[in-house]
Structure 1
Amino acid sequence: MKKLLMLLVIAMTSTVFSQTKSFEISGTLTSKQDKIPIESATIYLQRVKDSTIITYTISDKKGEFLLENKTSDKTANLFISYIGYKTYQKKITIENKKTSLGTIALQENANALQEVVIRAQAPPVTVKKDTLEFNVKSFKTKNNANVEDLLKKLPGVEVDEDGKIKINGKDVNKILVNGKPFFSNDPTIATKNLSKEMIEKIQVSNTKTDQEAFTGEDGAQTNKTVNLVIKKENNKGVFGRVAAGAGTDKRYEYAGMYNRFNNNLRLSLLAGGNNINSPGFSYGEISKMFGGSSSRNINSQINNWGREGIITSNNKGLNYVDTWGKNIDASTNYFGSTTNNNNTSKSETEETLETGNIFTNSNSRSNDESEKHSSESKFKIELDSTLLITIRPEFNLTKTKNTNDNNSISLNSNNDTINTSSSKSLNENTNNNFSNNLSVTKRIGKKGSYLKFNINNDINIRNSTNNIENNVEIINNPSESRTTNQLREGKNKNNTFFLETKYQLSIIEKKLSLDLGVGYRNNVQKNTNNTYDYNDTTGEYESFINDEFSTDFRYDNITTTPSIKIKYTKDKWSSNFTSEYLLRTLESSDFLRPELNLKRRFNAPQFSYRLNYRSTKTNLGLNYDLKNVAPYINQIQAFKNISNPLNTVEGNPLLSPSKRHTMSVDFSQNNFQKKIYFYSYIYGYITEDEIVSKTEIGEGNLRNTTYENVNGQYSLYGYLNYSKEIKIDTVKSIRVGIGGSSNIRKSINLINNTQNPSISRSISPNIYTRFNWRDIASLSVRYRPSYTKNYINNNLQEFTSHNVGINTNNHFMKKIEFSNDINYSYNPNISDGFDKSAWFWNTSISYSLFKDKANLSIKAYDLLNQNINARQYAYNNKITNRQSTVLQRYFMFSFSWKFNSLGKKGATRHYK
């Protein structure tokens, strides 16, 4: 194995280096008219013979810049671009190691923006106020690259194994195509299925609602939105792909996607299915069937998402976007899926108690079936430049059927049996959800004042039918048996109405404003659960209800929240403070047990503060929140739930809402000149009156649980990442990085009237490097150890895990792509009955034909046949080891076909 890995490394890195030399080009930018420094201008160097980008940078606040790289070229074209100024161009000679261009004065030009857009040598990066824009042609990728491949090439962008995107450490939660949604809120459908060759520019900005964009507000500081700007000639035509694969062990996959673009009209259809644990299009996994590197996606499904069992799924979807007339943008999407999951699992749990530890061993078999349908639409109506109306209806239907067979045994520290239990259940559920949001925003005057109304109604109805058989043997003196065989029919209706109005008064235009608002929320839950006992004599369930196991109640949570907010913005700084006063009424009505009815009122202040600094290279954010969190209905309702024969649960009507203090700090800095990117994030909270479980444990491990308020729980989480890109020459580079996360958390539960504090400390460093040789080859190596210490009742428990990942991808032969994903995991603390380590190797080789329109691939999943799903996790005073069914080794042959009539000539085109 070691020799094979060494050969892979040598194959990737052994190459004859070009006769390259290092260079530095420096200068200072000012405006010609007033001589002030120009910050955030783009300076880039192009090769003379083919106009490819050699390097680029961004000027700092003093207008200074430094271009560094290596090249074998003797001359190059220098361009300097900045919005509102004429593009500066100069042919320079690269002979000296260091070249100073002195001060360069840029000429103002009102038409410079349009000039930059139409010039062939558009800058690789452009800064437009709060938007960072990347020119796609400046970033080299392989043939047939998709948007995800392109994003991995952009500075400050990270794409993990699941396709989750971070930009400067912040999650990307929205992908737009020409400013409009593409298959709802799932970014991976666009990034994995749209090809790079379609895209002209990628724009990155803070995530904003339609209303925030309309009024010019900053939007969320914690998430990013990526807008894919389609090339003008690619906005009309048809494109898509179809694929199918068959493998050993009767494994299969199939998928198809059809897209029709006609300027403002976009229609997309997709369908697919598989029995290889791919969750379907809702995670964008269609890409792995089209010649991409599938092994990493499969690996993430098993090991990262925690998906257990063997899953068979079928999926379908539709996306429609159009402009109706001059004022209405309309979009709608639909997803439908069916899944079937068969799983067998075993677990071992150790519970630490002052009276002695309890060990519980469980084995279970389950089958889960589900059918899901969801549809979401948005109508954006801009009646004039001052009035915006948005309507967003959404519908979801879910049907599930679950069968489960479980057996468990609990032992004390002396290995004596405390109890045994067996259970069988058949659960069928139907869940209907409908929500609709109406928002009206009216600008007032020219200084930035506006008035906004927001109305939302959410209705959720859940019907359930459960057949439950429980048999518990309590080993006591004397021993006791408890048997339950019941049919339970339930209906839960949750209706939430929300109304908000907000008025922003602009005191100083674009600098100081005052917001006055009030929000009203009425949440009503109605729950009915009828339980019928099985009659051994008749062989049927009784016709009368067992009141002891049945419920019929209504729960009202009504809040009114007046608020005041003051915002101040100056240059790159922005700050705001919000003060709210929460008026809450909790009312519970039990129609079977009227004596348990209750009504309580809580009034509490809430605060939030935001401080942000944003520049081209540096971002800083400070946040503080004080929030009031109400107890759930099951926590406050005094009803005694005896459905679990081993644990009786009763709510506490004297509970108080929790008060949570949350603070966060995030800092990022990008040095475009030296290709260094740094991001750090710290998040923590302290909770007053946290609601925790309170359990009394009796003989035979029988439990009675309720809830109580406690103080002292807290959590502190930190994350950082540092990366640097090192250019070897114009076609080869290395990116190295180090980062990781750390967490300390204290949680409390009450057992036998004694507080059981659990303090967990963990650190997970991350070291990685990636070698890129243009679009020919790449090699990535990543090492992720993890260390955790848990202190439970002053008893120390330590956990360690190690994960090494190696990924190779090469195109040494033009039409052949060879990919490997090799992962090694080691968990030394897992119990002896579970696998502690495993090598996981996925590999694929694909061949392009018919001018890259078709693709043949052979994939091997878990080549070494060592895939495991053993996990260990700790919570409060419990440690659990769990292992379940996993997908095992298979080989698959796949074929895909791409069709494309986009572009002026309707041909499939490729850009490198």
Structure 2
Amino acid sequence: MKKNISLFLVLFCAVFTFAQKTVSGKVTDDDGVAIPSASVTIEEPGKDAILAYGITNAKGEYKVTFTSGESNVDLKVKAFNQKPLTKQISNSDQTLNFKMQSEATEIKEVQLKTKMITARGDTISYDLKAFNSKNDRTLADVMRKIPGIEVNKDGTILYQGNAINKFYVNGKDLMEGGYGTINNSLPKDAVQKVEVLENHQPVKILQDKVPSDQAAINIKLKNSVTMTGRGEVGSGFGDPWLWNVKLTPMFFGQKSQWVVNYKTNNMGEQVENEGNILAFGSSWEGRRSNISQNNWLSVENASTPDLPVKRYLMNSVHYLSANYLTNIDKKKEWELKANANYTNNAVEREANSITRDVQQGVQYNTRFLNNFYTDKLKGELIFTKNAKKGFFKNTTTFSQFWNADRAFAERNDEIGFRTGNEALESPTSSFQNSLSTIIPWKEKMVNLKSYISYQNDTQVLEISPADYLRFPYKKPGSDTLTTIKFSPGTTALQSFRIKSLDTSHSANISFSTKGWTFTPQVGFDYSTDKLTTNFDGMTDDNSPDFGTLAYENDLKFTRANPSASVGINYKSESWSLFSSFPVNFNSIKAEDLFRNVSKSLNRVTFTPNIFAQYSFASFFKASVNGGITNNFGDIQTAYAGYILTSPGGFNVMNPKNPIPETNTKNAGARLEYRNPLNNLFFNVGSRMSDAKNNLIASSIVNESGFRVTEYIERENKRTSNTYYAEVGKYFPKFKTNASLNYNNTISKAQSIRNTDNIDTRTNGNTLGFKFNNTYFSWMSIDFNASKTWNKQSNIYLTGNKGKTEGYTHNLNVFFYPLENHTIGFYWDQINSKSADIKYNNGFFDVSYQFSWAKKKLDFELKWMNIADKKVFERIDIDNTTITQTTMLLRPSQVMLTVKFNFK
């Protein structure tokens, strides 16, 4: 750990090898009138590379900080309708004033310089027209091509490798983090430019007081009042008949905004996740989260493969959402937002697996036929005031789930062949309310926050016949491992219910002076969980009695956490500092009335965290961060009765164990460079963590793969070190955007399996490449590729057993043979390799699109999975098992779709 930190500190300190110099002054015209918005750049002599730049303010003043090893540098001044100036200056701190001579500037030349990417302070603006192609229709199509910006598979937008904290349209946050709907359905023609707001603090009263290390996105539309949206209606040939409907009208006005979205299909598009919260704003705004169920129980199923969802998802989905925002006062400071969405989704999945257990030297085969049913409703009401003189935000959320899962399972192992039907019912009700307000008080600020959450989860798992289950079992007084035998023709039933109440309240007061902000805070968190479970099953005379208390739980888990902390923040032109120094008084108690067991923990912890960022030479940002966290477990790590968490095995906690404890130390450092003048962006960094636990998982696994997992008291550690780098550049002359990224993660973890201590070391590497080109008027190309090579090693995974390699690429090529005609070719390639086993999976699609320009209609005919590839094959390695999985894919299908804008 120390070696890794020292290595990165050497890299980090190398940035400051040469002393920084500052040049400042004033730019005026012949008459001595100040020239605003003039650019002042510093370059090394004889090199076409900008070291730093600045923009003059309204008074014509500028300030440029740069770093160079040369004795002299070139200073260049440019302004509209002024003759450019160039002067060689010494590499030293100095003040220089300039008078510029009038000279007409051709508009065409100015557009070439400023059209694509411009920068002003912490705002970088991208002109969308510079990056789109003829086949792009929505904002998301173009966003993926902008340098410095990435869009993940789940829709999350990253800037310089980090997730954004806000997504605005004309400066308003309609979607409250669930921006997938707008990104996927806003027509590109409605957008003037995309703005990246670096170091964005969304709470206005905290701006220039409490810094932020995250960026935000603001979509600036061409018109201040815009009625727009996107729609698609499609039908296709397949088994069954295929449909695809997307209707997303939008309105963006100065006082109100709204988006209504209805999407349904059975052709493999995962539209139901568009409502997920992807940007979480600032912690000063209160709590926000994606509401989910406490899914303790599950049916058996194969994990989803790492390939585009449209290739394997057998779905029938209906997703409806509505988002509304309006100002409710004349000053436009107060906003009311109402959001709601409903999902009805049915998914089928079929997979076959061959698992080799290298610890036991056995092999078993499984086959799962799954049906997953999702039925959920969510509603949200938000009142917000975000002004320079005060902040208020109250968010009320209600969610209801009526989900159900089904599985038909087959196993062929040492015992023989058998089948089982599995059914899970899991209704959930959930309610949350988050309140945060910041009140100015003389020169101070008072922040009050309150959060209340209540959730009720009920789950029932049924397996029939029960003798499908064969679990390892030790008889009392014996060390011999036998198998639990259920009576033929009977049913096994696991019931589960948990009621959770979570509250958090805090108050702080902030003092600001000369860029420093000090925030002392007191808080009190309280939560309680009530867990009741029961397992029913009939066994023969030689197996355990499931009527005993060992298979029931009646547990109450409470946590009280008073805390006191002080936050120290600093904001200047070059420096940003965010730090917090909390002291937590942890009081935790777990009571099991069935077993007369009561255990508690009372502990005082100090968990500081710090983030510091330094901006220099106009284009660079260097940052470091570190912190300590303590986690004392939750009800999932405290119960003492056996729970059949899945038909694959029981989980249990030893009632004699203490409360679980995890102490984690983390540190990181990062260097960023973003130069909008030459369209170059890169970042490099490191993350390290070290987690120490007092409990360790101990599993007993039989020859059929059924397991019983118990947690025993033993200190163990998990470590992880990650190094990453990314560079991207846009080449305007060739209309090409290219980026390269690399990630290396080395982790170590400990576990116990069948009484063997297993220390597993994992070395994972990923190399990615992105390329798109719109240089030719008759063709455009989008290409993304990634190469992975990983190695797991322990006492069982030796030599080539733990080595895996993967290669994935997505190639989209569009040809434009005639005006308004487009031919598309799509190629997805997914390869995997382990030792001598290699799988190559290629998928090909073609499309033809005719655009009726006058009516803004697109008619698309698309043939997907031309080769009619039936299955996808992959290899998974997990500590002591190597699994080859074959998953059923969507068949070849043809779709005819009409696409249109609402206005």
Matched to 2:344, the amino acid is: T
Q: Say if 2:166 and 2:202, in contact at 8 Å, map to a contact too.
A: no
Distance of aligned partners of 1:60 and 1:167 in 2 relative to their CA distance in 1, 3 Å threshold: farther
1: CA distance between counterparts of 2:805 and 2:131? 40
Q: Say if 1:177 and 1:228, in contact at 8 Å, map to a contact too.
A: yes
Distance of aligned partners of 1:454 and 1:284 in 2 relative to their CA distance in 1, 3 Å threshold: closer
Higher mean alpha-carbon deviation, 449-458 vs 873-882, is at: 873-882
Shift of 1:369: 0.9
Matched to 1:130, the amino acid is: D
Distance of aligned partners of 1:359 and 1:809 in 2 relative to their CA distance in 1, 3 Å threshold: same
Other-structure match for 2:448 = 453
1:440 aligns with 2:444: no
Other-structure match for 1:582 = 584
2: CA distance between counterparts of 1:823 and 1:804? 6
Q: Say if 2:522 and 2:564, in contact at 8 Å, map to a contact too.
A: yes
Shift of 1:243: 2.5
Higher mean alpha-carbon deviation, 211-220 vs 859-868, is at: 211-220
Match of 1:571 among 566, 573, 589: 573
Cα deviation code 1:137-182 (max 9, x no counterpart):
6656537642224434533223456654322222235321122224
Shift of 1:235: 0.9
Match of 1:717 among 716, 722, 726: 722
Q: Say if 1:132 and 1:205, in contact at 8 Å, map to a contact too.
A: yes
1:895 aligns with 2:895: no
2:81 counterpart SS class = strand
Q: Output aligned runs, 1:515-526, within 5 Å.
A: 515-526=519-530
Other-structure match for 2:185 = 193
Other-structure match for 2:409 = 406
Match of 2:593 among 585, 591, 594: 591
What RMSD over aligned residues (CA atoms) do the two structures have, in Å?
3.9
Higher mean alpha-carbon deviation, 398-407 vs 430-439, is at: 398-407
Shift of 1:869: 3.0
Gaps of 5+ in 1: 1-27, 36-40, 44-57, 70-78, 94-98, 109-118, 286-299, 411-416, 537-543, 901-912
Match of 2:847 among 839, 844, 849: 844
1:227 aligns with 2:224: no
Distance of aligned partners of 1:406 and 1:888 in 2 relative to their CA distance in 1, 3 Å threshold: same
Q: Output aligned runs, 1:106-121, within 5 Å.
A: none
1:814 aligns with 2:814: no
Other-structure match for 1:550 = 552
Matched to 1:589, the amino acid is: E
Other-structure match for 1:183 = 175
Higher mean alpha-carbon deviation, 206-215 vs 339-348, is at: 206-215
Matched to 1:317, the amino acid is: S
Higher mean alpha-carbon deviation, 640-649 vs 397-406, is at: 640-649
Other-structure match for 2:628 = 626
Other-structure match for 2:19 = none
Q: Output aligned runs, 1:495-894, within 5 Å.
A: 495-506=501-512, 508-510=513-515, 512-531=516-535, 548-593=550-595, 595-615=596-616, 616-641=618-643, 647-652=649-654, 653-689=657-693, 691-696=695-700, 704-707=708-711, 708-727=713-732, 729=733, 732-773=734-775, 777-793=779-795, 795-796=798-799, 797-829=802-834, 836-866=839-869, 868-894=871-897
Q: Say if 2:553 and 2:640, in contact at 8 Å, map to a contact too.
A: no
Shift of 1:709: 4.0
Q: Say if 1:144 and 1:852, in contact at 8 Å, map to a contact too.
A: no
Matched to 1:245, the amino acid is: S
Cα deviation code 1:484-506 (max 9, x no counterpart):
62444433211100112222222
Shift of 1:518: 2.1
Q: Say if 1:206 and 1:218, in contact at 8 Å, map to a contact too.
A: no
Shift of 1:644: 6.8
Higher mean alpha-carbon deviation, 266-275 vs 641-650, is at: 641-650
2:486 counterpart SS class = strand
Q: Say if 1:147 and 1:195, in contact at 8 Å, map to a contact too.
A: yes
Shift of 1:434: 1.1
Distance of aligned partners of 1:622 and 1:374 in 2 relative to their CA distance in 1, 3 Å threshold: same
Shift of 1:305: 5.7
2: CA distance between counterparts of 1:350 and 1:213? 60
Higher mean alpha-carbon deviation, 705-714 vs 676-685, is at: 705-714
Shift of 1:435: 0.7
Higher mean alpha-carbon deviation, 312-321 vs 672-681, is at: 672-681
Other-structure match for 2:263 = 272
Gaps of 5+ in 2: 1-22, 31-35, 61-77, 90-95, 101-110, 277-303, 473-479, 541-545
Other-structure match for 1:10 = none
Shift of 1:793: 1.4
Q: Say if 2:138 and 2:184, in contact at 8 Å, map to a contact too.
A: yes
Q: TM-score, with normalisation over the residues of structure 2?
A: 0.79
Q: Say if 1:521 and 1:559, in contact at 8 Å, map to a contact too.
A: yes
Q: Say if 1:840 and 1:867, in contact at 8 Å, map to a contact too.
A: no
Q: Say if 1:347 and 1:882, in contact at 8 Å, map to a contact too.
A: yes
Shift of 1:367: 0.9
Cα deviation code 1:755-811 (max 9, x no counterpart):
210111121222444332176532244442221111121623211122343221233
Shift of 1:583: 1.5
2: CA distance between counterparts of 1:425 and 1:596? 33
Cα deviation code 1:188-210 (max 9, x no counterpart):
32222112332234221247565
Cα deviation code 1:561-596 (max 9, x no counterpart):
211222333431223442222211221122333x12
1: CA distance between counterparts of 2:204 and 2:380? 21
Matched to 1:466, the amino acid is: L
The size of the alignment, in residue pairs, is 789
2: CA distance between counterparts of 1:719 and 1:865? 38
Other-structure match for 2:341 = 335
Match of 1:375 among 366, 374, 379: 379
Matched to 1:817, the amino acid is: T
Match of 1:134 among 126, 130, 133: 126
Q: Say if 2:201 and 2:210, in contact at 8 Å, map to a contact too.
A: no
Shift of 1:701: 7.3
Q: TM-score, with normalisation over the residues of structure 1?
A: 0.78
Q: Say if 2:205 and 2:388, in contact at 8 Å, map to a contact too.
A: no
1: CA distance between counterparts of 2:554 and 2:391? 43
2: CA distance between counterparts of 1:592 and 1:409? 38
2:637 counterpart SS class = helix
Shift of 1:429: 1.1
Q: Say if 1:407 and 1:423, in contact at 8 Å, map to a contact too.
A: yes
